[in-house]
Amino acid sequence: MTTIEQFHPVRTGLRRSLAACALAVGIAVCAAGAAAADGTPYVTSDVQCDANANGVLDITLINDNSVDPAEFVVAAPGAASADIVVQPLSAHAVTLTDLADGTVRVDISINGVANPVVATVQCDTATVQVLGHHTRQRESSPALPATGSSATWGLLVGGVLVTAGIAASIVARRRYS
């Protein structure tokens, strides 16, 4: 009986250490995702051509901040500047139409910081791109190509969390039995 009692504290300490390590890893993984969730305001843009071969510039004002609204000042060429307030976790679209070919610069400031958008419009000249002939590796192979990334990282995180749950269950069972 004394032999079992001598090793029991060692096993309990080992289990507690294992549970503490698993819990720390689980918290670190969850905290990393939470820290990256709160973002900053930014601008995206895209140039397209309409049916009349005129340029269309779509500008999206995005506020990824979850707390504070963002103030955007947009000064498009040939138009008065506009003050636009975008609420937290929201977006606002600005569209400029009938743009001639060439470079278009739209001065934008985000909370007082300059962030201009420079885009090139090429709608008057049609561009045709001829792609090369696609060859298959084997004509008789019905298999689809491999796409996506491996699931190794997800399996590793899942395994750590399952191990942490098992360790916490064992520690709790030993403590209250």
Per-residue tokens: 52? 């009349």
Domain assignment of residue 109, yes or no: yes
C-alpha–C-alpha distance, residues 148 and 6, integer Å: 52
Domain assignment of residue 104, yes or no: yes
Domain assignment of residue 2, yes or no: no
pLDDT per residue, tens digit, the chain (177 aa), is 433 444 445 455 666 666 665 566 666 554 444 333 458 899 999 999 888 888 999 999 999 988 899 999 999 888 888 999 999 999 999 999 989 899 999 999 999 999 999 999 988 776 666 777 666 555 555 666 666 666 777 788 889 999 999 988 888 887 776
Burial class of residue 160, CB neighbours in 10 A (0-12, 13-18, 19+): middle
What CATH number corresponds to the domain at position 59?
2.60.40.10
Contacts of 109 (CB under 8 A, 6+ apart): 72, 73, 115
Question: How many structural domains compose the chain?
Answer: 1
Instruction: Give the single-character DSSP code of 159.
Output: H
* Domain encompassing residue 72: 41-121
Other CB atoms closer than 10 Å to residue 164's CB: what's the count?
20
Domain assignment of residue 5, yes or no: no
C-alpha–C-alpha distance, residues 36 and 46, integer Å: 26
Domain assignment of residue 58, yes or no: yes
pTM of the model: 0.51
